[in-house]
Amino acid sequence: MRCLVTTSKAVLLVSFSTGAIEIICQGHGPYYGLTWSADRVFVTVQRDERVLEIDATRVIGSFPLSSHNVHGACFRNDTLFVCDSGHDRLLGFNLEQQTMLNWLMPEDRPHDPKRGADQHHINTVWANDHELWVVQHNWEHPSVAVQVDEHGGIKQTWVIAQGGGAHDFAKFDGQMYACDSRQGVIVSATDTKRREIHIKPFLRGLAVLNDGFIVGVSNETHDPSERLSCDGELLWLRPDGSIRRRVLLPGYGQILVVRAIGEIDWAHHGDKGPACPIA
């Protein structure tokens, strides 16, 4: 089992079988959104608001974003979706047609002046062939996953956490999954039942497998230097939450996104997307 991982300091290729950690790139982070097409990996970079393009071995290019505080990304059907958290919107770039979508989150509650344009703090985007979802961290308000239509309108909403702080999302086998990062909980839900798997704070980065999960656990801190230098840990969990294997990521900073390689990851492409170019 291997994973691609973004942290506040680097993009890493991590092996659970050997514990090996390979640095794909570093020095431009925080690195956040992580996704791929058939021939390249896309990584969003918060420091200078751009997307890195990586082939099987190295960074081959980048392009700027008209964003502020960019977060998660997902590639589906020739479109790269990116969370522009600071502008409270979802961007979509059709790489074949060279067109862009720009969907603002709706004003669904009184404006909070201290948050400026970032009212919902969208941090995760997930897509399959017929659905598009975003996660709204929502600060002190309940965190929710929102399904949006092709015009950015809301189709349905799922409450993940009451106190804000949710990240990550997946749909698999009739269930929805997300992380309550502040409480250190994996949440899963059907229409009639909710289940929580308690890990520990600070939980961010979720891969949903057919037979378990992979999550990232780091120290919660808002100090920039600590975010870049703190230790992190990848946990490979069984469906009941017990630990199958773990890999320490010493000094690589906060773990932000986790993607499984060589296994079906329902929090990313599921069983439909291309294999990762970094084999």
Interval 191-232: pLDDT, tens: 789 999 999 888 999 999 999 999 999 988 778 788 888 999
pLDDT at 140: 87
pLDDT at 110 over 80: yes
What is the set of domains in the chain, with CATH numbers? 2-261 (2.120.10.30)
Measured over the CA atoms of residue 273, residue 12, residue 250 and residue 19, the dihedral's sign is: positive
pLDDT at 182: 86
Q: Which amino acid is at 44?
A: T
DSSP class of residue 86 equals G
- Ramachandran area for residue 241 (φ above 0: left; ψ -120 to 50: alpha; else beta): left
pLDDT at 90: 94
pLDDT at 14: 97
* CA–CA distance, 259 with 25 (Å, rounded to integer): 16
Which residues have CB under 8 Å from 208's CB, separation 6+? 170, 172, 177, 265, 266, 267
Confidence of residue 256 (pLDDT cuts 50, 70, 90): very high
Interval 32-72: pLDDT, tens: 999 999 999 999 999 899 999 999 889 999 999 989 999 99
Interval 153-190: pLDDT, tens: 889 999 999 888 999 999 998 899 999 998 899 999 98
DSSP per position, 107-151: --S---GGGTT-SS-EEEEEE-SS-EEEEE--TTSPEEEEEE-TT
pLDDT at 79: 92
Task: Give the whole-number percent of the chain exceeding pLDDT 90.
Answer: 71
CA distances from 25 to 61, 75, 267 (A): 12, 20, 23
